[in-house]
């Protein structure tokens, strides 16, 4: 297995801003524009955003750090989505509900959960002891306890 990704907190501040803020916002803008064009593409991009949320969690030492990042990233993503969709003026091909800004809260919660999963899974992957370092359990000696052969 390869090396773990660098932790988010160890990255330069400009990289943190790019990865934690700019990319989710720009991706949200793209999804917001697609929202007025095609429902299938919207759902594919939304699923891709979810995968990105899980992968972003891998840059944190545990599920809590991934959850924090997912909360913020999900909110920024949804903000970009709604702003781009509003500015485009297109009719949404997917329902945004009766109060579209609520999507920011929903996306933040979903992002938090996905980031937490990524942080937890990443931690278990990167801290696992390789098989060759795990001591083999000794087989207990075969001892006859009772009864005929």
* pLDDT level of residue 135 (50, 70, 90 thresholds): low
pTM assigned to the model = 0.82
What is the tens place of the pLDDT at every residue in 11-63?
Answer: 999 999 999 999 999 999 999 999 999 999 999 999 999 999 999 999 999 99
* pLDDT level of residue 119 (50, 70, 90 thresholds): very high
Delimit the domains of the chain by residue range: 8-128
Rounded Cα distance, 146 and 120, in Å: 48
Instruction: Tell me what percent of the residues of the chain surpass a pLDDT of 90.
Output: 76
56 contact partners, CB below 8 Å, separation of at least 6: 8, 19, 20, 66, 69, 70, 73, 115, 118
Contact 114, 67 (CB under 8 A): no
Residue 99 main-chain phi, psi, to 5 deg: -135, 85
């Amino acid at each position: 297995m390869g090396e773990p990704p660098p932790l988010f907190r160890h990255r330069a501040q400009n990289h943190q801003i790019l990865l934690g803020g700019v990319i989710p916002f720009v991706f949200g803008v793209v999804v917001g524009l697609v929202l007025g064009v095609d429902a299938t593409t919207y759902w594919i991009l939304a699923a891709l955003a979810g995968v990105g949320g899980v992968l972003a969690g891998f840059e944190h030492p545990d599920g809590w750090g991934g959850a924090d990042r997912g909360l913020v990233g999900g909110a920024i993503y949804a903000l970009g989505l709604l702003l781009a969709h509003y500015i485009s003026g297109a009719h949404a091909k997917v329902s945004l509900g009766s109060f579209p800004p609520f999507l920011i809260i929903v996306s933040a919660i979903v992002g938090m959960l996905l980031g937490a999963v990524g942080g937890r899974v990443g931690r278990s992957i990167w801290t696992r002891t390789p098989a060759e370092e795990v001591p083999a359990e000794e087989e207990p000696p075969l001892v006859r306890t009772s009864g005929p052969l």
